[in-house]
Amino acid sequence: MNITLKWWPLLFVVPLWLACREQATSPPPVVPPPQFVSSSEDTAALERGIDAIPEMDAIFLQWYKNSLYESFQLWRRAQGESLFRMIASLPKSDSSYIDLVDIEKRYYYYLLAVDAEDNWSEPSDTAHYLLLPKATDLNVVFSTPLQFIWQKKGINPPHYILRLYDDLSDDLIWLSRVASAYQGDEETTTFNWDGNSKLSQLLSGRRYRWRIDCLDNTPYTGSESLWHRFVMP
C-alpha cells in the first residue's frame, strides 16, 4: 500500500477522533429514581400508597418495582429533625415497608436505588405522613337500625371513614364518611344512614368486620383503628 507521508498522521488521528466521538455520544448508564405509589383517596375501596395501618402505630410505604434495581435504601427525617438518616436497606424483591413511629409527629421519606453495576439513582420524590391517635373501643348495638359506636379519646378529628366488610368473603359492604359530632369522647352512627350500603340489611348469622379511620383536613394525616368483628343475630 502506497501512502504518502502527509497522510500518515490521519491513521492515528481519525481512530482517536472516532473513539472520542463514541464516548461523547454514549453517556454512562443512569438508574431512574424510584417512585412511591400515589396515595389513594380516603374513600377509595382499594387502599394503596403511604397510609396508616390498623395493626400498630406505623406508617405503610409502597413503591413501584423496576427490573433495573438491585436494592434500595430508605431514608427518613422526623418532624423537628434537620437531617435524613437511612433506616433500612432493602432487596429488589421488596416494594413496601412498615415503619413503626410516634403518633402526632410528621415523618418524611425518600428512596435510593442501585443497579447491579453499583450505579446509584437520584433520590425519589419525598413522601410524608402524620399518625393521629386511633379510635378505640369499637362496639355494635343490635338495634333497629344497627348502631356503630367508638371512642375518640384525646382527639377531635373533623370526620371519619367507616369501612364494613363481610369477614368471610372479604366483600366491602359499606363505606361511609361520618362527620364528627364534637361532643364528648364517644361517636356513633347508624347503619346505612347515607344509603350507600350494598345491603339494605345485614344477614343474620353472617360475620362482619369494621373499623374507623380518623381523618384530618391536612393531607397525609390520619389513623386506622383495630378491626372489630361481630355476628348478626
pTM: 0.85
pLDDT in tens, 63-90: 999 999 999 999 999 999 999 999 999 9
Task: Name which of 160, 106, 117, 110 is nearest 138 in CA terms.
Answer: 160
Query: What pLDDT shows up at residue 16?
Result: 44
Q: CA distances (Å), 50 to each of 38, 58, 129, 184, in order? A: 7, 11, 7, 31
Q: Do 150 and 184 have their domain in common?
A: yes
The residue among 94, 115, 131 that closes a domain is 131
**Residue 118 and residue 58: Cα distance in Å, rounded?**
31
The residue among 106, 131, 156 that closes a domain is 131
For position 64, which CATH number holds? 2.60.40.10
Please state the rounded mean pLDDT for residues 97-101.
98
**N- to C-terminal Cα separation, the chain:** 103
Domain that holds residue 177: 136-231
pLDDT category of residue 27 using cuts at 50, 70 and 90: low
**Residue 215 and residue 218: Cα distance in Å, rounded?**
8
H/E stretch holding 214? strand 207-215
Residue 45 lies inside a defined structural domain of this protein: no
Residue 65 lies inside a defined structural domain of this protein: yes
- Looking at the predicted structure, is the pLDDT value of residue 204 above 80? yes
- For the chain, how many structural domains are there in total? 2
pLDDT category of residue 154 using cuts at 50, 70 and 90: confident
Residue 126 lies inside a defined structural domain of this protein: yes
H/E stretch holding 147? strand 147-151
- Looking at the predicted structure, is the pLDDT value of residue 232 above 50? yes
pLDDT in tens, 209-220: 999 999 999 999
